[in-house]
Amino acid sequence: MSYYNEFTANTQLRLSPFFERTSKLNESQEWRRWSGYLAATNYELTHDDEYFAIRTKAALLDITPLKKYIIEGPDAQRFLNRLVTRNIGICKVGQVMYTPWCDEDGKQIDDGTVQRLSENKFRITSAEPNLEWIQFNATGMDLSITDDSYATAALALQGPNSRAILNAVASDTLDSLKFFWMMNTTFGHIPVSISRTGYTGDLGYEIWMDPKDALTVWDLLLEKGKSYGITPTGLHALDIARIEAGLILLDVDYISSRHAIIESRKSSPYELGLGWAVKMKKKDFIGKQALEAEAARGPEWDFVGIEIQWNELEQHFRKAGLAPGLPCTAWRTSTPLVKGNEQVGYATSGAWSPLLKRYIALAHVKSQFAREGSELMFELKVEHFRKLTPAKVVKTPFFDPERKRSCPV
């Protein structure tokens, strides 16, 4: 007797419109919760191939769990300029801006992208739900706010071959689509919008569509992408890629000021390496006064990349009679950074970069110890015992390929 093993998920988590496909492709059946959705951790038993797809081929990720809000109306620009720290006034139609947003004490609530869909219509994407904050600050303004999270499905296609695949599928060429710009096109008869954005720091795109078209789009991409090595990719691979790209993650690298139960858990954009995204010349925005004051006195913390020195690490393990043991996935445990006898920082996420062959991490470091080249000691556990091993402050992104920004024409 044979039977048909249907993939179903006995879960209260939301299933993405791509689940019909991803559930069957997910060989490992490893899932994790992402914004209330069931999201694939890795499709194969290990994430290695998926990681290399991001860096050498093309990785396809279901990013539907992202929170998406549509802000539309005559006051939309005025409102967003008030809400976020970057200057939305200079964001042209079809442009996308990455930006943090803060509370009035200048502490970061979340970060995400703002897409200008038309003169008076924007889409905000974010990791966490922000609807209440958005609505609250928009009271009295002439605009409408729609939580578009369930009404828009999204895929990320990331990696050196992503453009070629999209050119093969889309009715318009993507050759001239610049980094952090977007365009509307069709896949056959299906309207999609494509933004040249992503969370990998590589050449890559995000594709926004109606959920009813989700499966057709998925099938089209897999079919046309086959010869380009398109690979369904899960969150483990993404996590390594985003650390290499030096991109922060909410609830891992920082805590939203709305959830922090003590002051010291909050961070300002300056303390998260996002000072470049705070536009002081802009008219009043939420948190401006506090950020001005912070900029004047100098932020207490900095957010930097560190590289844990290999030779010394290797010796620690050798002394214990072991070969160097490295975590095979990215880690998210806060790890102390020491200078002399004093703890001067902590790393919040790190990974062995298979591409760079370097052990890297993202870290909060007190400003006076945060300049490039600064030498710190990183706490390492070797066979149950804590050791200190040297680490150096280095520039981020750790990996920053030319192709991320370049256009063929």
Q: Which residues bind other proteins (CB under 8 A)?
A: 75, 78-79, 82, 103-104, 133, 136-141, 283-284, 286, 288-289
Half-sphere CA count of 338, side-chain side, radius 13 A = 14
Q: How far is the CB of 135 from other proteins (least distance, A)?
A: 11
Q: Measured from the CB of residue 131, what is the shortest distance to other proteins in angstroms?
A: 14
CB closer to other proteins out of 278 and 380: 278
Minimum Å distance from CB 106 to other proteins?
Answer: 11
CA-based radius of gyration for the chain: 22
State the minimum distance, in angstroms, from the CB of residue 259 to other proteins. Answer: 16
What phi and psi values does residue 280 have, to the nearest 5 degrees?
-70, -20
Q: Which is nearer to other proteins, 104 or 375 (CB)?
A: 104
Least distance in angstroms from the C-beta of 137 to other proteins:
6
- Closest to other proteins by CB, 135 vs 333, is 135
Return the number of the residue (283 or 318) whose C-beta is nearest other proteins: 283
Q: Do you find a cis peptide bond into 17, omega within 30 degrees of 0?
A: no
Q: How far is the CB of 270 from other proteins (least distance, A)?
A: 19
Of 319, 300, 306, 320, which is closest to residue 366 (Cα–Cα)? 300
Q: Which is nearer to other proteins, 88 or 230 (CB)?
A: 88
Beta strand pairing call for 230-232 and 58-62: parallel
CB of 141 or CB of 250, closer to other proteins: 141
Q: Which residue has the tokens 């200078």?
A: 339
CB of residue 5 to other proteins, shortest distance in Å? 51
Question: Of the two residues 19 and 79, which places its CB atom closer to other proteins in the complex?
Answer: 79
**Residue that is written with structure tokens 């858990």 in the block:** 265
- Around Cβ 262, how many Cβ atoms within 10 Å? 7
Task: Give min distance, CB of 142 to other proteins, in A.
Answer: 11
Q: Using alpha carbons, list the distances in angstroms from residue 46 to 28, 126, 181, 237.
A: 8, 28, 33, 9
The Cα–Cα gap between 180 and 98 comes to: 8
Q: Three-class SS of residue 66?
A: coil
Q: How near is the Cβ of 118 to other proteins at its closest, in Å?
A: 21
Single-letter code of the amino acid located at 387: K
| In the block, residue with structure tokens 């079919």 | 223
Euclidean distance between CA atoms 179 and 176, whole angstroms: 10
Nearest in space to 361 (alpha carbons), one of 402, 398, 307: 307
Tell me the closest approach of the beta carbon of residue 88 to other proteins, in angstroms: 13
- Cβ-Cβ contacts under 8 Å for 335 (sequence gap 6 or more): 346, 347, 350, 361, 378, 379
Rounded CA-CA distance 14/384 in Å is: 39
Nearer to other proteins, 137 or 216 (CB): 137
- In this structure, what are the phi and psi dihedrals at residue 132, rounded to the nearest 5 degrees? -60, -45
Nearer to other proteins, 137 or 343 (CB): 137
- Of 144 and 289, CB closest to other proteins: 289
Single-letter code of the amino acid located at 315: Q
- Tokens 């318009």 correspond to 172
Rounded to whole angstroms, the Cα distance separating 193 from 365 reads: 39
